Amino acid sequence: MSETEISTLGEFGLIDNLTRDFKVKNSSTVRGVGDDCAVLDYEGKKTLVTTDLLLEGIHFDLTYTPLKHLGYKAVAVNLSDVYAMNGTPRQITVSLGISKRFTVEHINELYAGIYAACERYGVDLVGGDTSASVTGLLISITCIGEADEKEIVYRKGARDTDLICVSGDLGAAYMGLQLLERERVASAGQKDFQPDFAGREYLLERQLKPEPRADVIAEMRELGIKPTAMMDVSDGLSSELLHICKDSGVGCRVYEDRIPIDYQTAVMAEELNMNLVTAAMNGGEDYELLFTVPLTDHDKVAQMKTVKLIGRITKPELGAYMVTRDDAEMEIRAQGWNAFGDA
pLDDT single digits (tens) 110-142: 999 999 999 999 999 998 899 999 989 999 999
| pLDDT higher than 50, residue 340 | no
Instruction: Report, as an integer, the average pLDDT of 35-43.
Output: 69
Our CA dihedral for 57, 136, 52, 179, rounded to 10 degrees, sits at -30
6-151: CATH architecture: 2-Layer Sandwich (3.30)
Class of domain 163-188+199-337: alpha beta
pLDDT of residue 41: 81
Cα separation, 3 vs 43, in Å, equals: 45
Q: Where in the chain is the domain with CATH 3.90.650.10?
A: 163-188+199-337
Cα gap 234→288, rounded to integer Å: 8
Percentage of the chain with pLDDT > 70? 91
> In which band, very low, low, confident or very high, does the pLDDT at 319 lie, cut at 50, 70 and 90?
very high
**Confidence check: pLDDT of 13 > 70:** no
343 pLDDT band, cuts 50/70/90, is: very low
Contact 159, 293 (CB under 8 A): no
Which residues, 6+ apart, have CB-to-CB distance to 170 below 8 Å? 233, 237, 259, 260, 261, 265, 280, 281, 283, 286, 288
Whether the full predicted model's pTM is greater than 0.85, yes or no, is yes
Q: What is the pLDDT of residue 5?
A: 78
Residue extent(s) of CATH 3.30.1330.10 domains in the chain: 6-151
